[in-house]
Structure 1
Amino acid sequence: MKLRDVDLNLLVVLHEVLVKGNVSRAAESLDMSQPAVSNALNRLRGMLGDDLFLRTSKGIAPTRFAENMREPVAHALEMILDAVNTHSGFDPAVSKRDFRVALTDVGEIYFLPALLPLLSKAGPGITITSVRNTSVNLRDEMESGRIDLALGLLPDLNFGFFQRRLFSQRYVCLFRKAHQLAGKPLTLAGFQTAEHVSVTAEGTGHTAIEAMFERMGIARNVRLRVPHFVAVGHILNSTDLIAVAPEAYARRAFETANLASAPCPVELPEITINMLWHAQNHRDAGNQWLRQLVFEHFSSDER
């Protein structure tokens, strides 16, 4: 297939149905009739040779092919919009704008120390208000446009939002350098015998990791449970507890605590850290500028 054979209007329809998760809502957003949207999807099905969406008991669900198209189509449409808009309407050098960014506690530790110096140079009058993802109804706040961006592993925002992948990371085991487990391979037996601090971070993908240990039948000697990662580095530094933590957090913790890490002896999936935003802010010039700044600095498979 060649690009000249593709009607870009069909990709606009596909993107909107992916975002809305519903043909009727997509039609309303595009100011089209529902039959027109359905017809566009049928044309695209014939062109691509895939069903794109399947009916389920909960409505329609994208096929794997359509899901794989979500990010590249969104990115391509955004780039086209940027190219055809001849004026940005936003000058970071003189802007006094306050951007509200939703972050997990790990996100604050990882992103903010690096983001603030970037803003000081590119937009000295710009401020950031960090909003903890669990302190508000994040979906409603983003749909209303009151929150500009969300950064992190936020499974509750999987559908209905634009997103760009920033980087992937693994989980590691974290403990103080003087711990008896330091300096040697961490075995499953050592992992299960050690005393753990368990982080039950609601609203993040970390809760899935905790549940995975239970499903796998991995018994841990949990002595402490905390709702977030903020104090974990300090706790580990003064105890013999160990923690399973995202590698990005672990690297930041090394800077302020006398900690070491080891690969987790339990096979855990890598997690993807995304930048997410709602259609409400998609065409906003300031939001586009901030998204590009974040993407250029933090998009990497090596972080």
Structure 2
Amino acid sequence: MNLSRVDLNLFIVFEAIFALGSITAAGRKLNITQSAVSHALSRLRTLFEDPLFERSSRGMTPTPLARMLIVDVRNALQSMECTLQKTVHFDLSTTQRRFTIAMGDPFDAVLLPKLMERIGPVAPGIEIESIYSDRRRVEAALLEGSLDMAIDVLIPTSPEIGHAAVLSEPLVILACKDHPDIRGSVDLDTYLGQKHIQVSSRRRGLSIEDISLRRAGLTRQVRLRCQHYSAAAHIVSRTHMLMTMPRCFAELTNDALGNQMLAAPFPSLRLELFLYWHARSDKDAAARWLRDQILAVISTSVSGLPSSSKEAGIPQVALSAKLPLGVASKTL
């Protein structure tokens, strides 16, 4: 196949259909007609002698060949974009880009309002798409280019993935304001004697506090496992169950509910989150700028930490590398 005879714009259409799962949506994104997208797809099918996408109830589903091609196509397109960034002045006021960032509930509520407030006036063409991504898929999504960045706990990654510590928060306890056993503080024995709510987007698995307790030979009774901190905070206000969560999330979800927010009986246990990206974006001025904005927003959005309660005797587990706030743990 002679590359000079191939219209490279076809690969831009291919990536848009793959990302959006729709010919109509791809046309809208690229500002071309639906028939133009269909014509481009037809040419691609002829070129590769494969349907590439098949219609299904979920839209245009990629074939195995399309899934194999997308990694190289996205890498090539991003490499070309980075080359242009080197030669064309990066102008915040005119740059048109969409960045896809994976993050969990309720971190998007902590980050996105202040991030959009910060970048909106100076970069009106920068669009942000916040999505949920399975932790096991984060590295693959960054490698293939379907994700630009991700915010998650410390996870093992290859040298191609850079990461920076963005958040280190102590855990606090929420209890209803008229809890019969809790008035202003909670010790370990009282904590273990209560029923608890565990918040997780996963169907199973231990939380960081449960891991720490079990390594000390202790367990707590989880009566309810739910997906969202905001729902759990409302349940706490109507029951005598307790919830353990990072302080900044508690301040956000507990607003106006009147629950007690108490220092946890294991004060040195913390939630630590990291920002992840692919090394190729280090040459992308717009991506580097957005990373800087995210780090700046996070560093100024988390208030002072609560006063520590007396050490409760739980051996603390090294759950992640201790990195200074906002300092890159990999420089790529």
TM-score when normalising by structure 2:
0.58
Q: Distance in 1 between matches of 2:180 and 2:158?
A: 40
Q: How many residues align?
A: 218
Show the counterpart of 1:196.
196
Show the counterpart of 1:252.
252
Residue-by-residue CA offset, 1:5-38 (whole Å, 9 max, x unaligned): xxxxxxxxxxxxxxxxxxxxxxxxxxxxxxxxxx
Show the counterpart of 2:224.
224
What SS is found at the alignment partner of 2:106? helix
Deviation at 1:279, TM superposition (A): 1.0
Deviation at 1:101, TM superposition (A): 0.6
Deviation at 1:143, TM superposition (A): 1.0
Aligned-partner residue type, residue 194 of structure 1: Q
Which has more radius of gyration? 2
Deviation at 1:261, TM superposition (A): 1.2
Aligned-partner residue type, residue 128 of structure 1: I
Q: Distance in 1 between matches of 2:135 and 2:276?
A: 17
Instruction: Point out where structure 2 has 5 or more consecutive residues left out of the alignment.
Output: 1-84, 305-332
Aligned-partner residue type, residue 168 of structure 2: S
- The Cα RMSD (Å) is 2.9
CA contact (8 A) 2:135 2:152 kept: no
Q: Which runs of 4+ in 1 moved over 6 A?
A: 85-88
**Residues 260/155 of structure 1: CA separation in 2 closer, same or farther (3 Å cut):** farther
Instruction: Point out where structure 1 has 5 or more consecutive residues left out of the alignment.
Output: 1-84
Does structure 1 residue 239 correspond to structure 2 residue 239?
yes
CA contact (8 A) 2:248 2:303 kept: no
Show the counterpart of 1:17.
none
Q: Distance in 1 between matches of 2:231 and 2:206?
A: 16
Aligned-partner residue type, residue 277 of structure 2: W
Show the counterpart of 2:215.
215
CA contact (8 A) 1:172 1:264 kept: yes
Q: Distance in 2 between matches of 1:230 and 1:217?
A: 30
**Residues 196/286 of structure 1: CA separation in 2 closer, same or farther (3 Å cut):** same
Residue-by-residue CA offset, 1:231-252 (whole Å, 9 max, x unaligned): 2222222222111111121121
Q: Distance in 1 between matches of 2:157 and 2:233?
A: 28
Deviation at 1:138, TM superposition (A): 1.5
Q: Distance in 2 between matches of 1:233 and 1:159?
A: 39
Q: Distance in 2 between matches of 1:248 and 1:152?
A: 15
Show the counterpart of 1:100.
100
Deviation at 1:147, TM superposition (A): 1.2
Q: Distance in 1 between matches of 2:159 and 2:169?
A: 22
Does structure 1 residue 263 correspond to structure 2 residue 302?
no
Does structure 1 residue 123 correspond to structure 2 residue 123?
yes
CA contact (8 A) 2:246 2:270 kept: no
Show the counterpart of 1:280.
280
What SS is found at the alignment partner of 1:127? strand
Q: Distance in 2 between matches of 1:185 and 1:285?
A: 48
Deviation at 1:182, TM superposition (A): 4.9
CA contact (8 A) 1:105 1:230 kept: no
| Percent of aligned pairs sharing the same letter | 23
